[in-house]
């Protein structure tokens, strides 16, 4: 106790001593001296830093960073005027008359740079490209830093996202003011510009107008939103005048891709730490209109699309929580996704959703799925998808997908009655997007061959080659699709599709011949509908398929094919002839590539023939004796032989006018 009281007494005497006053005086004097020196030499230091940065920029990017004037303004403000970025021998990429940044004093004293206020005036971003020459590629080809960064063996998703979002929100100035900001894009004959007359963030909110000019047409839209740095929240909305649409600029002129909408809302909220980061992303877009030849041939109109994505970031993986919702009109589902890439890429996807069937069909966008317009259904559907991939072992891929009905039935067909394939119908074949020939498919056509009049070798060879589970599937072969994914992963490119015979038939009978994203989705849905509602027997579907598909240049249906290649009836085809015909279905117009200059089948086809033959024997459709010397037994005759020899002057192979056979 005595020691404690003694310590208190000593401390009290020190606090009132002259020594403490001297120490405080020296400290205050030093700080004052540093401040005085800072004010005296701050512009000198600033100029030295600016010069150094300009030289470093020039060395790294082979371009000039020009700064007309830089000086301190006020106590902790910096004003830079007449800034330009000019690549060597190219046009100016960036120019600004004035940039002003005001820094917070106390963070600056301890070495943390925090911009409190930021102003940008009279700024131009000028992007120019003529042919292969442009004024921006130097940004991507600058010299690399000589310091090699060590690979991070302890990759942490949560820590990295936490660092990124913390940096983003903490570095957004409290006040931002932008005046006269112009982005101008010149790409060959394309001229697009966007002009922001004024933009201000104050009290966390912002509102601005944006003027765009493209192909001589001027448009205006508005942007409003809020940024809450304390809670790491950010949202914005883009809209136009009532009755007008917002058009995404440049992509229409550059890619012939039109994208318009009425209103776009997007927001993000971040919460968590280095152990777990939760990111909630929200989106709502109404009145969306898309038009591109790869999507559909007409405008695709969406009423309202919305989603709420709940993304969790942990140390080892990212996940999209099943509480996430993706919705369009009356249809919605809740996906679950889990992804990681350290030490190897792994991906998991799960969807298991039951919904009212009519909600799905009424939610299909107009402009695509035209066959379903006006359809009425009852009952429910369940969508199930399971995808589990480990890139170390692609062959272990687990993939399941199904669409099942519960008391589901079609009450009224819409624009298309899918039962038409049970009778005779008119079909137009297309070549390179152009109609090549129109003919009837059905018993009323003399060339139409019933299934029982076709060689069993041919029927089984085509099934084995194209879709082994055709007679047992519902139009979508998940196993075949899985195998195509694995093959594409191994090849590191798209080498194999997953179309079933049902889907190929639907494509030929009901859909346009233009390859679009929407066509594939409609293909799957129609094939499923025909199978699950028993609109047509599998036998009839297969019969129509064999009488409809192209087997060569202008050759449609198995009757024409067997006569064109072998001068036989479909019932007379041998094992080797059947396997050959099955082999050319993917590329029938290129069948000549399978033969040498003497008209003999190339030896490289042996592996395919052996594979199909082995499966035919295992199935009991053929005997080992039937499959001997198959390559040598393929002897092309008739018109096909003349075509292969190049003597095709008298044959119009795109319209199938062969007088010697059909007259």
Cα–Cα dist 494/13, whole Å = 85
pLDDT at 110: 46
Helix (H) or strand (E) holding 195: strand 190-202
CATH superfamily ID and name for 423-472+505-662: Biosynthetic peptidoglycan transglycosylase-like (1.10.3810.10)
Strands, DSSP E only, in 391-484?
A: 398-412, 425-431, 434-441
Tell me the C-alpha distance between 113 and 229, whole Å.
16
Q: Are 253 and 212 in contact (CB under 8 A)?
A: no
Which of helix, strand or coil describes residue 198? strand
504-557 confidence digits (pLDDT tens): 888 888 886 666 667 778 888 898 889 888 889 999 999 999 999 999 888 999
Residues of the chain where predicted confidence (pLDDT) is lower than 50: 10, 14, 37, 108-111, 146-152, 647-663
Bond preceding residue 343 cis, omega within 30 of 0: yes
Residue 240 has phi, psi (to 5 degrees) of -130, -170
Residue 133 phi, psi (nearest 5): -100, 130
Q: Which residues of 40-56 are buried (b: 16+ CB within 10 A; e: fewer)?
A: eeeeeeeeeebeeeeee
Domain boundaries, the chain: 156-328, 335-416, 423-472+505-662
**CB 380 within 8 Å of CB 354:** yes
Which residue has 């007259």 as its token pair?
A: 663
CA 360 – CA 337 distance, rounded (Å)? 22
Q: What is the pLDDT of residue 321?
A: 94
List the structure tokens of 293.
Answer: 């030849």
Per-residue pLDDT, 449: 94
**Other CB atoms within 10 A of residue 306 CB:** 16
Q: How far apart are the first and last CA of the chain?
A: 127
Question: If DSSP states are collapsed to H, E and C, what string results for 205-241?
Answer: EEEEEEEEEECCEEEEEEEEEEEECCCCEEEEEEECC
SS3 362: helix
Q: Using CB atoms within 10 Å of the CB of residue 544, give its burial: 0 to 12 exposed, 13 to 18 middle, 19+ buried.
A: buried
CB 190 within 8 A of CB 250: yes
φ/ψ of residue 63, rounded to 5? -150, 160
Nearest CA-CA partner of 459 in 359, 532, 545? 545
Strand-pair partners of 279: 270, 311
Phi, psi of 73 (to 5 degrees): -125, 120
Quote the pLDDT of residue 53.
Answer: 84
**Burial label, 499 (beta-carbon count in 10 A; 0-12, 13-18, 19+):** buried
Instruction: Report whether 297 contacts 516 (CB < 8 A).
Output: yes
Its sign, for the CA torsion 373, 470, 587, 444, is: negative
Whole-number Å distance between alpha carbons of 534 and 402: 17
- Is 478 exposed, middle or buried, given 0-12, 13-18 or 19+ CB atoms closer than 10 A? middle
Q: Supply the Cα-derived Rg of the chain in whole angstroms.
A: 35
8 Å CB contact between 552 and 640: yes
- CA 145 to chain centroid: 32
Tokens of 60: 């790294």
Tokens of 295: 């999507």
Which pTM does this prediction carry? 0.76
In sequence order, what E strands does 35-104 have? 63-73, 77-87, 94-103
């Amino acid at each position: 106790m005595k020691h404690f009281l003694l310590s208190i007494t000593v401390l009290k005497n020190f606090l009132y001593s002259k020594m403490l006053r001297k120490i405080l005086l020296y400290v205050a004097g030093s700080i004052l001296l540093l401040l005085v020196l800072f004010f005296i030499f701050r512009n000198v230091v600033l100029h030295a830093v600016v010069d150094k940065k300009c030289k470093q920029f020039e060395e790294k990017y082979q371009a000039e960073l020009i700064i007309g004037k830089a000086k301190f303004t006020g106590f902790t403000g910096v004003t830079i005027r007449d800034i330009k970025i000019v690549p060597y021998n190219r046009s100016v990429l960036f120019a600004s008359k004035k940039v002003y940044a005001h820094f917070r004093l106390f963070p600056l004293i301890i070495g943390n740079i925090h911009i409190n206020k930021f102003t940008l005036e009279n700024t131009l971003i000028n992007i120019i490209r003529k042919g292969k020459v442009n004024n921006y590629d130097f940004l991507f080809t600058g010299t690399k830093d000589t310091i090699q960064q060590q690979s991070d063996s302890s990759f942490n998703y949560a820590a990295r996202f936490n660092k990124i979002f913390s940096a983003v929100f903490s570095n957004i100035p409290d006040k931002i003011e932008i005046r006269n900001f112009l982005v101008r894009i010149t790409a060959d004959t394309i001229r697009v510009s966007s002009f922001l007359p004024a933009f201000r963030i104050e009290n966390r909110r912002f509102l601005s107008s944006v003027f765009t000019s493209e192909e001589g047409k001027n448009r205006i839209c508005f942007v409003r939103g809020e940024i809450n740095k304390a809670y790491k929240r950010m949202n914005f909305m883009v809209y136009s005048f009532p009755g007008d649409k917002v058009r995404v600029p440049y992509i229409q002129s550059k890619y012939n891709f039109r994208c318009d909408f009425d209103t776009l809302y997007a927001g993000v909220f971040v919460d968590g730490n280095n152990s777990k980061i939760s990111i909630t992303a929200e989106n709502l877009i109404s009145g969306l209109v898309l038009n591109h030849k790869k999507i559909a041939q007409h405008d695709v109109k969406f009423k309202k699309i919305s989603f709420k994505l709940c993304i969790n970031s942990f140390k080892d993986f990212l996940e999209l929580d099943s509480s996430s919702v993706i919705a369009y009109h009356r249809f919605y589902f809740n996906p679950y996704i889990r992804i990681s890439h350290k030490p190897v890429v792994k991906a998991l996807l799960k969807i298991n959703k039951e919904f009212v069937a009519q909600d799905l069909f009424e939610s299909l966008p107009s402009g695509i799925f035209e066959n379903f317009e006006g359809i009425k259904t009852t009952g429910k559907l369940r969508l199930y998808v399971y995808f589990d991939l480990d890139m170390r072992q692609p062959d272990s891929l687990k993939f399941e997908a199904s669409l099942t009905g519960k008391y589901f039935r079609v009450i009224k067909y819409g624009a298309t009655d899918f039962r038409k394939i049970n009778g005779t119908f008119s079909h137009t074949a297309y070549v390179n997007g152009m109609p090549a020939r129109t003919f009837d498919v059905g018993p009323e056509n003399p060339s139409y061959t019933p299934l029982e009049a076709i060689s069993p070798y041919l029927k089984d060879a085509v099934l084995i080659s194209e879709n082994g589970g055709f007679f047992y599937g519902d139009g979508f072969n998940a196993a075949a699709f899985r195998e195509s994914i694995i093959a594409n992963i191994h090849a590191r490119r798209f080498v194999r599709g997953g179309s079933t015979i049902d889907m190929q038939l639907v494509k030929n009978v009901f859909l346009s011949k233009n390859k679009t994203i929407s066509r594939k989705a409609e293909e799957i849905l129609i094939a499923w509908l025909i199978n699950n509602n028993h609109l047509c027997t599998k036998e009839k579907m297969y019969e129509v398929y064999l009488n409809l598909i192209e087997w060569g240049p202008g050759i449609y249906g198995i009757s024409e094919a067997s006569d064109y290649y072998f001068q036989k009836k479909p019932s007379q085809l041998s094992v080797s002839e059947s396997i050959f015909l099955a082999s050319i279905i993917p590329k029938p117009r290129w069948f000549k590539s399978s033969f040498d200059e003497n008209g003999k089948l190339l030896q490289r086809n042996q592996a395919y023939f052996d594979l199909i033959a082995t499966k035919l024997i295992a199935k009991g459709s053929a005997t080992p004796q039937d499959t001997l010397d198959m390559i040598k037994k393929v002897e092309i005759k008739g018109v096909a032989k003349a075509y292969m020899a190049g003597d095709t002057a008298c044959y119009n192979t795109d319209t199938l006018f062969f007088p010697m056979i059909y007259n």
